[in-house]
Chain A
Amino acid sequence: MQQLKKGFLILLLPLMAFTVAHKFYLTVTHVGYSEKDDALQITTRIFIDDIEKVIEARYALKMNMATESESPLVDEYLEKYLRTKMVIELNGAVKEYNFLGKEYDDDMVVCYMEIPKIGLDSIKTIQIQDEVLTDLFDAQQNVVHFNIKDLRKSMVLLKSNTKGMLNL
């Protein structure tokens, strides 16, 4: 009887106001370009409690991020998860990125990824597929900001629409 509305949980969570606890599912990704390295540089900010939940659900790993008992496997599993959920295509072809690592900012983890020597002049389209956390949360919103030289574009990617494209 008491299991009740867990079904509505996901639906209600962004609506039920719980003070202080973040009550919305959001990641913010910046896709930038470094002229110095001719590199596409990607940073993704994810709430620690969200990413811990999804890693535990998928891989049964308790990460205990930003604690003394942090698992030594955190970077490996972050990378593993991100590679399945975040895919970059340049000119329509999937391009692998280097996962540089992560750092913490309060209750967020910031992940750094880079694709060096992309040859920007020859790039016509950059596509990002961002499904981070949509496997766990229906209401997940993944915000992507492109900022390539003077070109800017922002988009919100949802479970129903996980791809965004920038035309150069």
Chain B
Amino acid sequence: MTKIKYAFASLLFLFAAVATAQEVEKKEKEPGHVNQSKFRQLYDEFATPNTYRSASGAPGPDYYQQQADYKIAVTLDDKNAKLYGEETVTYFNNSPDKLDFLWVQLDQNVRAKDSKSPLRDGQEVPMAEPANTFVSKYISAPFDGGFNIDYVKDAAGKALPYTINQTMMRIDLPKALLPKEQVSFSVKWWYNIVDHTISRARSGYEYFPKDGNRAYVIAQFFPRMAVYSDVEGWQNHQFWGSGEFALTFGNYDVSITVPADHILDGTGELQNRKEVFTPEMMARYEKAKKSYDKPVIIVTQAEAEAAEKGFSEKTKTWKFKAENVRDYAFASSRKFIWDMQAVKMGDRDVMAVSLYPKEGNPLWEEYSTKAVAHTLRSYSSHTFDYPYPKAISVHAKNQGMEYPMICWNYGRPNEDGTYSDRVKYGMLSVIIHEVGHNFFPMIVNSDERQWGWMDEGLNTFMQYMAEQEFGEKYPEAIAPNAKYPSRRGDPSKIVPYMGGDQSTISPIMSNPENVYQLGPNAYAKPATALNILRETIMGRELFDYAFKTYARRWEFKHPTPEDFFRTMEDASAVDLDYFWRGWFYTTDYVDIGVKDVKKYQVSNVPSPAMKVYMQEHNLTEADLRPLVYLIQIDSTENAENPDLAAKYPSESSTTLKEYMMDNMTEAERAAVKEPKYFYEVTFDKPGGLPMPLIVEYTYADGTKENITYPPEIWRKNDVEVKRVIASQKELVGIVVDPKAETADIDVTNNSWPKKQENTDFDKFKAKIKG
């Protein structure tokens, strides 16, 4: 009997905490529930792996992607700001499906008079408005934008039937396109080019009234194939303005006819350099190809200023070829100054190039090409060697827009040539960002129309690393700053957004058209999440290898979010389902704190609480195996044990002493350091995101101990968790997340004892008092 009781008691004792909790009487039986653990795997959210896309996150054995090759000839009518074009598209059906029709994107139609984009948002009558806004809103005629399609013909020159639905055109094929087959068709079109400085369009021109010139940055200028894939079928979601592009890879043969005095550069390799360059430019170009440390000017500011006055009636045709690109863009103007340098990329040379009107100087000649070259090196080191022959940064007012090998960037000094740090860092950051987009999404070709974060978030994260590396490499360029002032990436910078009003926050996994604030949603939050993964959760070694694996697996392919999430786990053995779920699929935020600290000491006799427990279970000390008792101090529990001074546990507990005598040698006993102080620390988590519990313990002698409990500490209780600290030294302070690594939105609960935080407000007041 005693034996059974003894065993029973031990068993009970083990589960005492659980038993006590269950003693709360329940009137009604609660209903059951499905798995609600935040650590459950993402089977409900993820698509089932298949032969196209493997469970590892790599392309599967049957992965395919379509190909679209373009032969394009366009003419720029500078006087009337119109663009005329003809193209032949050859479309390769690599899918296992039979295609009855093709979808072609007509992005310019977002600016057509009958565009639905301006109609899809609510409006209110404002109390007052600037006069120019009022005029353009209610008085002046709307811009006559959009593609005017002259014809769509098959390879034999026969008209093909087509239907235009806003920004999408369906071409009905006379005979279905079977797997492994290809089809060619031709389109002729023209459109009015928009002033992008007014409409904030992603391409167009800026007009310079002082000299009467335009600087063109031209993109979305030709009908482009939509993507057909195993995931979306035809990706023919309309272009509304925010959701960017989903595009098929292919080879481009493009000739661009512009006024003879224009300077032009675009995606791909120039085929007729000798026809369009002066001998002087050729000589400078040859020099630039061997200049690895600084750019060589191909067209000087003086030459560009002379050209501004020309307005040639003659034309020149610039011919380019580009292989394996998903899009095409170019920039053209009389105003362009041009410089370039070479960048070593493995055993190849890549050209870093800048085009800018004099209005960009002196900022652009100093920093643009330097930033391009730095970006190519930095991004390549984290992914793969930049595979294209060049990367161009074009200065365009208010722009920040990316295309393969070419991008438009803002950053304009004042008219007198002075500029603020804000303009300088804005320019450096936007160049790093837009050139960086060559990697995501130009090469790792995600579907921007559906998932803005897949390119913007990954790219903003890469941008953060490249900016920090820029600061380390060129300290003189960022002086007096000690580190590059990145706007996004540091955990603390996302706190105002993630801690903000829930009614205006969307999960990252949302379509870019449907989020409230695209900046924090698609750029800053995913970038911060990846930064936290790299620095705090996975560590640089595991993260960098996995991230590189993702980039290499999907280089020149079309990844989905799952392919990214799966690869990051596949290559690291870190289960991140909880992290993806919380950070990407919900609007939860981080808030972890320290709630309570209880002190205990070892005792020879049961504590009052233990006595109550024993009484309830009809146990005496004799029923129990010899036990070491812990008794809470600083509370009523130790009222009857006033002599519990700071003695070693083995001095306080006979049971412990005897155990140690029986089981340890004298030498072993001499070597052990018994803890004197025992603490039970309660951590709570008001925020929904499970994160590592990063704790700094401070002891009476001033020493600190840092312990990081893995995020899994929250797997059984998502609200509160307790830990025991046994120490030889008295514990005097606890800080959760001492280095602000987790984007904790409320740090007032992060300290024990509760600190009267010196608020930012107090700091500012102290500062102004001097």
Residues of A close to B452: CB separation below 8 A:
17
B418 at the interface (CB under 8 A from A): yes
Residues of B close to A160: CB separation below 8 A:
124
Closest to B81 in A: A2
In angstroms, Cα B424 to Cα A68, docked, is 13
Given contacts A11-B121, A48-B422, contact A16 B401 (CB under 8 A): no
Q: Are B761 and A28 in contact (CB-based, < 8 A)? A: no
B128 at the interface (CB under 8 A from A): yes
Given contacts A17-B452, A17-B518, contact A156 B504 (CB under 8 A): yes
B123, B418, B519, B764: the one contacting A24 at CB < 8 Å is: B519
A19, A67, A107, A141: the one contacting B401 at CB < 8 Å is: A19
Residues of B close to A20: CB separation below 8 A:
400, 426, 429-430, 433-434, 487, 523
A9, A18, A106: the one contacting B198 at CB < 8 Å is: A9
A84 at the interface (CB under 8 A from B): no
Which of chain B's residues 495-522 have a Cβ closer than 8 Å to chain A? 496, 499-501, 503-504, 512-513, 516-519, 522
Q: Are A5 and B500 in contact (CB-based, < 8 A)? A: no
Closest to B195 in A: A2
Interface bits A48-86 vs B (CB < 8 Å: 1, else 0):
100000000100000010111100000000000000000
B244 at the interface (CB under 8 A from A): yes
B142 at the interface (CB under 8 A from A): yes
B132 at the interface (CB under 8 A from A): yes
Residues of A close to B456: CB separation below 8 A:
17, 19
Closest to B437 in A: A19
Interface bits A129-151 vs B (CB < 8 Å: 1, else 0):
00000011010010101000000
B123, B198, B418, B768: the one contacting A100 at CB < 8 Å is: B768
Residues of A close to B518: CB separation below 8 A:
14-15, 17, 23-24
A21 at the interface (CB under 8 A from B): yes
B739 at the interface (CB under 8 A from A): no
Closest-CB distance, B765 to chain A (whole angstroms):
7
B420 at the interface (CB under 8 A from A): yes
Q: Are A107 and B487 in contact (CB-based, < 8 A)? A: yes
Which of chain A's residues 1-52 have a Cβ closer than 8 Å to chain B? 1-24, 26, 28, 32, 34, 41, 43, 45, 48
Which of chain B's residues 138-193 have a Cβ closer than 8 Å to chain A? 138, 140-145
Closest to B240 in A: A15
A89 at the interface (CB under 8 A from B): no
In angstroms, Cα B213 to Cα A113, docked, is 48
Given contacts A19-B433, A64-B420, contact A159 B126 (CB under 8 A): yes
Residues of A close to B519: CB separation below 8 A:
22-24
B133 at the interface (CB under 8 A from A): yes
Q: Are B433 and A13 in contact (CB-based, < 8 A)? A: no
Given contacts A1-B144, A13-B200, contact A107 B422 (CB under 8 A): yes
A96 at the interface (CB under 8 A from B): no
B118, B195, B402: the one contacting A19 at CB < 8 Å is: B402
- Indicate the size class of the contact surface on chain B: 35 or more
Residues of B close to A64: CB separation below 8 A:
420
Q: Are A154 and B133 in contact (CB-based, < 8 A)? A: no
Closest to A10 in B: B133
Residues of B close to A112: CB separation below 8 A:
761, 764-765
B410 at the interface (CB under 8 A from A): yes
Closest to A101 in B: B768
Question: Which of the listed residues A4, A64, A68, A100 has the most CB atoms from chain B within 10 Å of its own CB?
Answer: A4
Q: Are B123 and A7 in contact (CB-based, < 8 A)? A: no
B418, B512, B759: the one contacting A34 at CB < 8 Å is: B759
Which of chain B's residues 106-135 have a Cβ closer than 8 Å to chain A? 111, 117-118, 121, 123-124, 126-128, 130, 132-133, 135
Q: Are B761 and A5 in contact (CB-based, < 8 A)? A: no
Q: Are B143 and A5 in contact (CB-based, < 8 A)? A: yes
- Indicate the size class of the contact surface on chain A: 35 or more
B194 at the interface (CB under 8 A from A): yes
Residues of A close to B241: CB separation below 8 A:
12, 15-17
A155 at the interface (CB under 8 A from B): yes
Q: Are A4 and B764 in contact (CB-based, < 8 A)? A: no
B708 at the interface (CB under 8 A from A): no
Residues of A close to B242: CB separation below 8 A:
15-17
In angstroms, Cα B202 to Cα A6, docked, is 15
Q: Are B141 and A1 in contact (CB-based, < 8 A)? A: yes
Closest-CB distance, B83 to chain A (whole angstroms):
15
Q: Are A57 and B402 in contact (CB-based, < 8 A)? A: no
Residues of B close to A145: CB separation below 8 A:
499-500
Interface bits A91-132 vs B (CB < 8 Å: 1, else 0):
000000000110100110010101000000000000000000
Given contacts A17-B242, A19-B401, contact A9 B433 (CB under 8 A): no
In angstroms, Cα B135 to Cα A6, docked, is 9
B666 at the interface (CB under 8 A from A): no
B485 at the interface (CB under 8 A from A): yes
B313 at the interface (CB under 8 A from A): no
Residues of A close to B765: CB separation below 8 A:
100, 112, 114
Given contacts A7-B138, A34-B762, A100-B768, contact A17 B418 (CB under 8 A): no
In angstroms, Cα B240 to Cα A12, docked, is 10
In angstroms, Cα B518 to Cα A15, docked, is 8
Residues of B close to A43: CB separation below 8 A:
760-761
In angstroms, Cα B111 to Cα A22, docked, is 23
Closest-CB distance, A49 to chain B (whole angstroms):
8
B398 at the interface (CB under 8 A from A): yes
In angstroms, Cα B765 to Cα A1, docked, is 53
Residues of A close to B426: CB separation below 8 A:
20-21, 107
B137 at the interface (CB under 8 A from A): yes
Closest-CB distance, B747 to chain A (whole angstroms):
12
Q: Are B420 and A4 in contact (CB-based, < 8 A)? A: no
Question: Which of the listed residues A9, A16, A19, A156 has the most CB atoms from chain B within 10 Å of its own CB?
Answer: A19
Q: Are B200 and A66 in contact (CB-based, < 8 A)? A: no
Residues of A close to B401: CB separation below 8 A:
18-19
Closest to B436 in A: A19
Q: Are A3 and B400 in contact (CB-based, < 8 A)? A: no
In angstroms, Cα B365 to Cα A158, docked, is 42
Residues of A close to B430: CB separation below 8 A:
19-21
In angstroms, Cα B115 to Cα A8, docked, is 12
Q: Are B760 and A57 in contact (CB-based, < 8 A)? A: no
Residues of B close to A106: CB separation below 8 A:
485, 487
Interface bits B600-626 vs A (CB < 8 Å: 1, else 0):
000000000000000000000000000
Residues of A close to B522: CB separation below 8 A:
17
Residues of B close to A103: CB separation below 8 A:
764, 767
Interface bits B294-315 vs A (CB < 8 Å: 1, else 0):
0000000000000000000000
Which of chain B's residues 414-429 have a Cβ closer than 8 Å to chain A? 418, 420-422, 426, 429
Q: Are A28 and B768 in contact (CB-based, < 8 A)? A: no
A9, A15, A45, A154: the one contacting B501 at CB < 8 Å is: A154
Q: Are A5 and B121 in contact (CB-based, < 8 A)? A: no
Residues of A close to B398: CB separation below 8 A:
18, 21
Q: Are A12 and B764 in contact (CB-based, < 8 A)? A: no
Residues of A close to B399: CB separation below 8 A:
18
Closest to A26 in B: B517
Closest to B207 in A: A2
B20 at the interface (CB under 8 A from A): no
Interface bits B228-247 vs A (CB < 8 Å: 1, else 0):
00000000000011101000
Nearest 6 CB-CB pairs, A to B?
A: A7-B137, A4-B143, A6-B136, A67-B420, A19-B400, A7-B136
Extra A-B contacts (13), CB below 8 Å, given A17-B241, A138-B124: A2-B195, A7-B138, A19-B430, A20-B523, A21-B426, A28-B496, A34-B761, A45-B496, A103-B764, A110-B764, A143-B501, A145-B500, A156-B500
Q: Which residues of A contact B (CB under 8 A)?
A: 1-24, 26, 28, 32, 34, 41, 43, 45, 48, 57, 64, 66-69, 100-101, 103, 106-107, 110, 112, 114, 135-136, 138, 141, 143, 145, 154-156, 159-160
What are 12 inter-chain pairs, A to B, with CB distance below 8 A? A2-B198, A3-B136, A4-B195, A10-B133, A16-B202, A17-B522, A19-B430, A23-B518, A106-B485, A107-B487, A135-B128, A156-B503
